[in-house]
A and B are shown apart, each in its own frame.
Chain A
């Protein structure tokens, strides 16, 4: 929607807004406290309720009712010492109310209601005594459900951000530059699939675990990458992905989880150096390395080393190791490119992909010379898998430029510019093209 159009629509609404009935404001301070509590506790409370009730929608409804009950009774009673067990316990009784109400009018729900009631009553009474570990297990179960391979990837991502991270539909939509209506439908569809396919709320058995964990890690990395490449809304999503990664690391300290968190921290450490004040992309080579976040680098490297030592690592750990080599170098010139090329060789063996080959070609160009790198990239482009990948063309352009093959460099930059999806990248490529226009005279 154009900005003008949106404003016009708002103004049309404005004419009628005065007719709408407005409720009295809620007590601001307490609702603020409860909102903070919602942020920190809703993920845990919901996960436990899902286990107790066996139904995501019912669990959500019961949780909302429990928070509403808190808003109602806490002004009189004060905030309980342990709000989490209070919320879980209250929500259980609210769920029984919900089911009884449904069953009273809808005979078909009667059996289901009786089942759920029995289930709630069978559950150990002392939710209050549930220890932290049990609650964390519940969260892990719910993560595996939200990231179940039977759900479409965009549904996995949306569901994880809403049900695990506690983001609202509107917040997720804003981060992904889509409309709340589109995002809401992804969530509705994903929930319907969980019900239709009777996807269980459980941590997969050990023989299934590596593959299922792979899907979970991919969802976390997708969220991170969305935040990595997006211009303005990115930081928030990347932080959320790192938070989610840390949670996963607490729950399941597998080497690849360490590797992924390490990788995200190492990439995130360059955020301040990656984009100029004008919003332009700055390549690794030109980044001011003093702007790199040392704390994130130290933690990222330590996690990566721990994962490497386990000898059970995979592709995330290897990518983290490559990022760690960069993080430990004071300039592009002093970077151990041979080590990076070797790590890419290893990565190619476990995860063959033309994009990894392209990155390896760049590393080879850095340690053996642009000519060798260009040969590899030309072979890759001849295979056509990367024909529409802007980074392949811009890498080729860069090597041609360094070899003084200006017309070829220009053609490749133009091709890259035509394919680049994001504005900062497009500006960067346009700037490079502009510089090349000056070059021939300089060379003469």
Chain B
């Protein structure tokens, strides 16, 4: 089963480190990720640029509206996400607990099970087929 892990980071956490410290964290994280990937547990990952680069779009009165910044302002900002393949939720918890970045206290990690949309997609395809044959 797939679990999406949203990694949050406290602003300034990285900036407060020396270059050596930062590099040590990077090396450990990337090596761990290589290991997880090789074992088939890490099936996707994405890091995000800082929140000030974000732009949020709204649908307002039939038009696109935009604002600067992320949708929700919180102390910790979303820093990246990874997709884990795990046997069950407790296995995912165990995998996340071993992440070096997490152990260094960079910030909390939210685990969300992936939703299975196969049934909904199948039903939708059927509806669309019926429309075109009519």
Q: Are B88 and A168 in contact (CB under 8 A)?
A: yes
Q: Produce 1/0 per residue, B15-44, CB < 8 A to A.
A: 000000000000010001001000111011
Q: Are B100 and A21 in contact (CB under 8 A)?
A: no
Q: Produce 1/0 per residue, B54-90, CB < 8 A to A.
A: 0000000000000000000000000000010101111
Please report the C-alpha to C-alpha distance between residue A11 and residue B44 in the assembled complex, in whole angstroms. 22
Main secondary structure on chain B at its contact with chain A? Answer: mixed
Whether B113 sits at the interface, judged by CB under 8 Å, is yes
User: How distant is B133 from chain A, measured CB to nearest CB, in Å?
Assistant: 24
B-binding residues in A (CB < 8 A): 10-11, 13-14, 17, 20-21, 23, 26, 57, 60-61, 64-65, 68, 71, 101-102, 105-106, 162, 168-171, 180-181, 183-184, 187-188
Report 23 cross-chain contacts, Cβ distance below 8 Å, ordered by A residue. Answer: A10-B117, A13-B115, A17-B115, A17-B117, A20-B44, A20-B114, A21-B44, A21-B83, A23-B44, A61-B94, A61-B98, A65-B39, A71-B40, A101-B32, A106-B103, A162-B88, A169-B88, A169-B89, A169-B90, A171-B88, A180-B88, A183-B89, A184-B90
Please report the C-alpha to C-alpha distance between residue A26 and residue B39 in the assembled complex, in whole angstroms. 13
Q: Are A64 and B87 in contact (CB under 8 A)?
A: yes
Q: Are B44 and A64 in contact (CB under 8 A)?
A: no
CB nearest neighbor in B for A168: B88
Q: Are B94 and A57 in contact (CB under 8 A)?
A: yes
Give the residues in chain B near A169, CB-CB below 8 Å: 88-90
The winner among B89, B115, B121 for most chain A CB atoms within 10 A is B89
Interface size on B, residues (CB 8 A): 27
Whether B47 sits at the interface, judged by CB under 8 Å, is no
Q: Are A68 and B39 in contact (CB under 8 A)?
A: yes
Q: Are A188 and B90 in contact (CB under 8 A)?
A: yes
**CB < 8 Å neighbour of B117 from A14, A181, A188:** A14
Please report the C-alpha to C-alpha distance between residue A10 and residue B35 in the assembled complex, in whole angstroms. 32
Whether B13 sits at the interface, judged by CB under 8 Å, is no
Q: Are A20 and B83 in contact (CB under 8 A)?
A: yes
Give the residues in chain B near A162, CB-CB below 8 Å: 88, 90
Please report the C-alpha to C-alpha distance between residue A57 and residue B121 in the assembled complex, in whole angstroms. 37
Please report the C-alpha to C-alpha distance between residue A13 and residue B41 in the assembled complex, in whole angstroms. 22
Give the residues in chain A near B89, CB-CB below 8 Å: 168-170, 180-181, 183-184
Whether B106 sits at the interface, judged by CB under 8 Å, is no
Give the residues in chain B near A61, CB-CB below 8 Å: 94, 98
Q: Are A168 and B44 in contact (CB under 8 A)?
A: no
Please report the C-alpha to C-alpha distance between residue A183 and residue B90 in the assembled complex, in whole angstroms. 9
Give the residues in chain A near B120, CB-CB below 8 Å: 10-11, 14
Q: Are A105 and B94 in contact (CB under 8 A)?
A: no
Please report the C-alpha to C-alpha distance between residue A71 and residue B85 in the assembled complex, in whole angstroms. 14
Q: Which of B87-105 contact A (CB under 8 A)?
A: 87-91, 93-94, 98, 100, 103
Give the residues in chain A near B85, CB-CB below 8 Å: 23
Assess A170 versus B44: contact at CB under 8 Å? Given A13-B115, A101-B35, A180-B113.
Answer: no
Please report the C-alpha to C-alpha distance between residue A21 and residue B114 in the assembled complex, in whole angstroms. 12
Q: Are A188 and B35 in contact (CB under 8 A)?
A: no
Assess A184 versus B93: contact at CB under 8 Å? Given A105-B100, A168-B88.
Answer: yes
Give the residues in chain B near A105, CB-CB below 8 Å: 28, 100
CB nearest neighbor in B for A166: B87
User: How distant is A79 from chain B, measured CB to nearest CB, in Å?
Assistant: 18
Whether B48 sits at the interface, judged by CB under 8 Å, is no
Please report the C-alpha to C-alpha distance between residue A168 and residue B88 in the assembled complex, in whole angstroms. 5
Please report the C-alpha to C-alpha distance between residue A273 and residue B68 in the assembled complex, in whole angstroms. 65
Give the residues in chain A near B41, CB-CB below 8 Å: 68
> Lowest 9 CB-CB distances: which A-B pairs, in order?
A168-B88, A169-B88, A169-B89, A21-B44, A184-B89, A23-B43, A105-B28, A169-B90, A180-B89
